[in-house]
Amino acid sequence: MAQNRSFRDYIAKRFDNKFWEIAERYLQDEFDASSLTFYRLHRPGQSEIDDVKVEHVWVDDLPGMGIQFDVALSLSLSFPEADHHYDNSEEKTVWMMARCRGNLERHLDDFTVFDYSAYNGKSRAQNPLDDSLVPYIAYDQLEKAAHDFLTCHYPEALTITPMGKPPIWVDPSVLAARLGLTVKTQRIREDTSVFGQIFFENTDVALFDAETGGDVETSIPEKTILVDPLMYLLRNLGSVNNTIIHECVHWDKHRKAFALEKLFNPDASFISCEVVGGAASPLAKKSTEFMERQANQLAPRIQMPAEPFRAKAKEYISRFIRESDARHTIDVMEAVIRQLESDFSVSKQAAKIRLVELGFEEAVGTFTYLDGHYVKPHSFRKGSIKLNQTFSIGVQDAAVQRFVNPELRKLTEDGDYLFVDNHYVYNAPLYVEAGENGRLELTGYARAHMDECCLAFDMAIVSKVSDTYHTACFLNREPSDITFNITYHNGYQNSPQERQVAMRKKQQAEWLDIRRQMTDDPEQCMELLLHWRGMKYTELGDAIDRDPKTISRTVNGQTAPSVETVVRICFGLHLPPTISEKLLEVLRCPLKPMDPNHQWIKEALYLKYPESLEAVKEYLGMYGIKI
């Protein structure tokens, strides 16, 4: 990786003599020494320049490859004593501004200083570039930058089409042609770690050749975009389209940064964009990271212009709700995303992220995959959680957080919160219901009001990923190499409805009453619990796949009970934690705190007790535990 390139350092070295000349003219024509205060001189004489330094440069982007820049110069001056009776001198530093321009296509051979004046410390740049000649685009100006790009190169994509008609999508091949670029498919690296390259110069470059199995020197003309053809197999069409537009952004926004690199390094010819989101090129690390950030931020905004995209999203939400008679926006949001994915020829995740950026927070809870399965869509009150927070976590994270966080453990030890559909949800009928095969599910109301009934968790990215990609990673919960550290968000307070809390308290009072009636007599306990659940030994045997006589002999002490059988009884009777603990104790099968298998079973007794035995077995099966 090349060292950081500095435009200031380049012009300071190359045009040093010119800046000395301008400094001398400024002192002769503009400078008034009477403005200075002298402490050692009675009367200052004619100054001499000891040094001229380029202190700062403000660069303004001009059309084509032209640039205009204001240069702050510090002049180190030496003033002799004008009165011959004294032999003193004094040094002073004076600052001035030089206004310059030049064309990078001409390698700044046409450099001129067209004005100079006293230093005022203010930049006049309308379209500023940084010291690497990469455009400054503030985050809140990205939409405008994308709009301006389309206005110049693809204005029809800004049209809001009538209802019932698809939007005008940005065809990447058409966009590339309008920029004078040629798109070619070409294997780039054997490991497919580079998904695209943009060539600014004619060059010979080593590219992977599938026939020979090695790199082959290949001549690539300038203004060429290479896309690895495996992108079409390993990723989707939306990602391929994004890659081409990404490279178009490099051409439009970053040619001047590349031209600066050429002034330092004549061998530079291309930018190579890696799958992990970085950029590998001869350019300076700081410059490439800045350019990659801009290309990644602008490409989806160009593919999905704000106003047309927002208009179509609203249209589809209204239409799909009407057609499906849905009650909540979240019920149709995945269909909306699929339609936008098709209309704008982008990836599903790109459409989801764009919706969230434009204020459709219902999209956050869509297309989430955890523990190898799909998590149903869900939504929450706008602003109730931050981007790096989630209601959806994996089973291992759920168990770890319950173990290390006493506040979370307290919320779950009495069964107030269950772990259902990868969420810690308040245990009340409004939020939890029995689905197929006795498995608990979130109700439709719960999935539309997650902030009311579910606990939130903070996410921190553990994998080595640039900050640039954090937003995309937080929203993209599909299977990937990105790993997260999940932490219970103690400061977040949910607020179940009062009626549900009251029902929950009534249920807990019933549990407490049953617990108080339990003695240390196994038969008394079992009769009490069977009566409470309205079951007989035969029905319990069917529920837990055990011979009723085996259960009876276990209870009356004729056979030594096994932990597995007693645990099955607890799940078959759907016993809440406090009651199952007592039954395990009475039947002399307490769970061992140092046995990992027993601890996972305990987790299931706390979090899965209302569910069917099959659901419990599936949960424990994730950890290789059988009961």
Please report, for the chain, the start and end positions of each structural domain, with discontinuous segments joined by +: 7-129, 139-303, 365-504, 518-621
Q: What is the spatial distance between Cα 346 and Cα 169, in angstroms, rounded to a whole number?
A: 10
**Res 266 pLDDT > 80:** no
pLDDT at 400: 86
What pLDDT is attached to residue 307? 97
Select from 384, 300, 368 the least CA-distant residue to 334. 368
Residue 380 near residue 451 (C-beta atoms within 8 A):
yes
* pLDDT confidence of residue 276: 45
- Confidence at residue 2, expressed as pLDDT on a 0 to 100 scale: 45
Residue 195 has pLDDT above 80, yes or no: no
What is the C-alpha separation between 334 and 352, in angstroms, rounded? 9
Q: How far is CA 6 from CA 13, 56, 129, 263, 287, in A?
A: 11, 11, 12, 11, 10
Kind plus residue range of the DSSP H or E element containing 173: helix 172-178
Q: How far apart are CA 214 and CA 249, in angstroms?
A: 30
Residue 281: pLDDT over 60: no
- According to DSSP H, which parts of 430-562 are helical? 444-448, 450-453, 470-475, 498-517, 522-533, 537-544, 548-555
Mean pLDDT computed over 567-593 = 92
At residue 342 the predicted structure's pLDDT band, cuts being 50, 70 and 90, is: very high
Phi, psi of 55, rounded to the nearest 5 degrees: -95, -40
Looking at residue 235, its pLDDT comes to: 55
> pLDDT: is 500 or 134 the higher one?
134
Cα 248–Cα 249–Cα 255 angle in degrees, nearest 5: 95
Asked whether the predicted pLDDT for residue 68 surpasses 80, the reply is yes
In this prediction, residue 277 carries a pLDDT of 44
At 303, list the tokens.
Answer: 């593919």
Q: Which of 281-290, 432-441, 516-525 has the lowest mean pLDDT?
A: 281-290
What average pLDDT does the chain have?
Answer: 85
Whether 536 shows a pLDDT value over 70: the answer reads yes
pLDDT at 40 over 60: yes
What's the pLDDT at 142?
Answer: 94
First to last CA, the chain: 57
CB distance 132 to 156 below 8 Å? no
Quick: pLDDT tens for 465-497: 555 555 655 666 656 556 667 788 765 456 687
The pLDDT assigned to 282 comes to 46
